[in-house]
């Protein structure tokens, strides 16, 4: 190796090893003191921002200082403008907005920080097992009920995701433990449907349809027969609730996920995804999944779905049930297009089958003589 190359490598090593130390910040007219603990002031931030053009690596230092020390000023539009003018970029802006939120609501900031800490592996396994037991038991306790689904259907050409509204459906869904789900189309774009009968789905309407957003999806996932594989991934707040996110996979052999195309073709597919488990309530608050290894000759090439759960009251008792869902598909059949169904669940109430005895049937009025 020539002396020139050796010198070049030495320069590289020295440059990369010194980069973090160089520009540890700027206090006054020189380097920042990394031992500073007081919140970053507006003046100090401006001094650091002015150094970015000559020393771009200072951005990472600014972000680090803001994250570790916080800020001692209101994040005004003028300060945001300075960040943009001096080249602070999205990273510095994001750090400032987060620090400003912490400064304004320290209790919420502390809650978010605590929620971001993963439980130990053993505690994570216990949380998952308690959730599995609670989910399966809740399915057993679930009453028969009726709910209305508001379905907004859209499509997009190719893979553009430029969504074009297709129609809006109002469905009445009846859930019975012994019969599963039954769907009744109440209206299409506000008008009564034509010749659509009640059944296990609403595929008679054509277009993209989806079923099984109720207890079925979670029950299938946590069923021992499914043998889903779970792995703890991260911790985060979801709608203000501390959750632990687990990834999961379900093999095709154990799957109950049916996918049917309009021409009658139907397959069972493997799937994978994520569940957000409430750390305190031990219940699933959100589930996302995607179909895996769809057959190459099947028209549907990609399917994703998400379901948000919340507690709703049926006969004054709380039950964890879906409140929102979204299903997206990519289809390749003569033309390539995408579909998107957005679903809202409203008006849960208990279902009670009408039972009429002979005594309940009113007698026909007696005809008068001569009539």
Q: Mark whether 147 and 55 lie in a shared domain.
A: no
Q: Mark whether 27 and 148 lie in a shared domain.
A: no
For the residues of 23-60, what is the DSSP string, one character each? TS--STTS---TT--SPBPHHHHHHHHTTTTT-TTHHH
Give the C-alpha distances (Å, rounded to integers) separating 316 from 92, 311, 313, 350.
49, 11, 5, 10
* Residue pLDDT, tens place only, 33-59: 444 679 999 999 999 999 999 999 899
pLDDT confidence bin for 261, thresholds 50/70/90: confident
Number of domains in the chain: 2
Query: How many Å apart are CA 333 and CA 298, to the nearest integer?
Result: 9
The arithmetic mean of pLDDT across residues 227-252, rounded, is 95
Domain span at residue 340?
121-350
Domain for residue 151, yes or no?
A: yes
Which pLDDT score is estimated for 17?
31
Compute the C-alpha angle 218/170/200, nearest 5°. Answer: 50
In percent, the amount of the chain with pLDDT more than 90 equals 62
Q: Mark whether 222 and 78 lie in a shared domain.
A: no
Q: Mark whether 11 and 126 lie in a shared domain.
A: no
Query: How many Å apart are CA 26 and CA 34, to the nearest integer?
Result: 9
Q: Mark whether 134 and 244 lie in a shared domain.
A: yes
Provide the CATH number for the domain around residue 181.
Answer: 2.50.20
Q: Which residues contact 171 (CB under 8 A, 6 or more apart)?
A: 148, 149, 151, 183, 184, 185, 186, 202
Which pLDDT score is estimated for 107?
78
pLDDT confidence bin for 264, thresholds 50/70/90: confident
Domain for residue 201, yes or no?
A: yes
Q: Are 141 and 259 in contact (CB under 8 A)?
A: no
Query: How many Å apart are CA 193 and CA 169, to the nearest integer?
Result: 10
Q: Mark whether 132 and 181 lie in a shared domain.
A: yes
Domain for residue 143, yes or no?
A: yes
* Residue pLDDT, tens place only, 173-207: 999 888 888 888 899 999 887 665 555 456 666 66
Query: How many Å apart are CA 361 and CA 194, to the nearest integer?
Result: 31
pLDDT at 363 over 90: no
Domain for residue 99, yes or no?
A: yes
Q: Mark whether 310 and 189 lie in a shared domain.
A: yes
Q: Mark whether 98 and 126 lie in a shared domain.
A: no
pLDDT confidence bin for 214, thresholds 50/70/90: low
Domain for residue 155, yes or no?
A: yes
pLDDT at 26 over 60: no
* Residue pLDDT, tens place only, 124-175: 999 999 999 999 999 999 999 999 999 999 999 998 999 999 999 999 999 9
Query: How many Å apart are CA 127 and CA 119, to the nearest integer?
Result: 9
Give the residue, 261 or 304, on which the prediction is more confident.
Answer: 304
Domain for residue 109, yes or no?
A: no
For the residues of 175-224, what is the DSSP string, one character each? EETTTEEEEEEEEETTB--SS---BS--GGG-S-----TTHHHHHHHH-T
The arithmetic mean of pLDDT across residues 270-290, rounded, is 97
Query: How many Å apart are CA 113 and CA 108, to the nearest integer?
Result: 9
Which pLDDT score is estimated for 333?
84
Query: How many Å apart are CA 253 and CA 328, to the nearest integer?
Result: 24
Which pLDDT score is estimated for 180?
82
Domain for residue 111, yes or no?
A: no
Q: Mark whether 90 and 175 lie in a shared domain.
A: no
Among residues 60, 79, 104, the one where a domain terminates is: 104
Q: Mark whether 238 and 313 lie in a shared domain.
A: yes
Domain for residue 291, yes or no?
A: yes
């Amino acid at each position: 190796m020539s002396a020139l190359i050796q010198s070049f490598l030495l320069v590289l090593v020295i440059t990369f090893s010194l980069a973090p130390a160089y520009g540890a910040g700027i206090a006054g007219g020189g380097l920042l003191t990394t031992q500073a603990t007081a919140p970053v002031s507006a003046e100090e931030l401006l001094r650091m921002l002015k150094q970015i053009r000559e020393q771009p690596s200072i951005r990472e230092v600014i972000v680090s200082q803001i994250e570790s020390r916080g800020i001692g000023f209101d994040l005004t539009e003028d300060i945001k403008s300075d960040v943009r003018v001096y080249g602070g970029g999205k990273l510095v802006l994001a750090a400032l907005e987060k620090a400003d939120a912490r400064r304004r609501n320290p209790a919420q900031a502390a809650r978010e920080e605590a929620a971001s800490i993963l439980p130990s592996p053993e505690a994570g396994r216990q949380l998952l097992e308690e959730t599995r037991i609670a989910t399966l038991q809740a399915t057993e306790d679930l009453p028969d009920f009726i709910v209305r689904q508001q379905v907004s259907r859209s499509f997009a050409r190719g893979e553009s995701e430029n969504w074009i509204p297709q129609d809006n459906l109002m469905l009445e869904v009846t859930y019975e433990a012994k019969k599963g789900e039954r769907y009744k189309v109440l209206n299409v774009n506000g008008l009564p449907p034509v010749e659509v009968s009640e059944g296990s789905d609403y595929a008679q309407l054509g277009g993209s349809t989806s079923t099984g957003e109720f207890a079925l999806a979670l029950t299938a996932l946590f069923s021992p027969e499914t043998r889903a594989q779970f792995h703890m991934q991260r911790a985060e707040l979801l709608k203000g609730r501390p959750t632990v996110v687990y990834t999961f996979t379900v093999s095709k052999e154990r799957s109950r996920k049916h996918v049917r195309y309009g021409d009658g073709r139907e397959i069972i597919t493997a799937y994978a995804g994520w569940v957000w488990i409430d750390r305190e309530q031990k219940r699933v608050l959100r589930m996302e999944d995607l179909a895996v290894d769809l057959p190459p000759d099947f028209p549907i090439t990609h399917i994703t779905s998400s379901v948000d759960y919340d507690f709703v009251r049926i006969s004054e008792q709380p039950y964890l049930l879906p409140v929102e869902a979204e299903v997206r598909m990519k289809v390749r059949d003569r033309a390539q297009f995408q579909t998107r169904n957005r679903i809202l669940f409203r008006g849960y109430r208990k279902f009670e089958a009408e039972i009429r005895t002979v005594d309940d049937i009113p007698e026909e009025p007696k005809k008068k003589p001569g009539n």
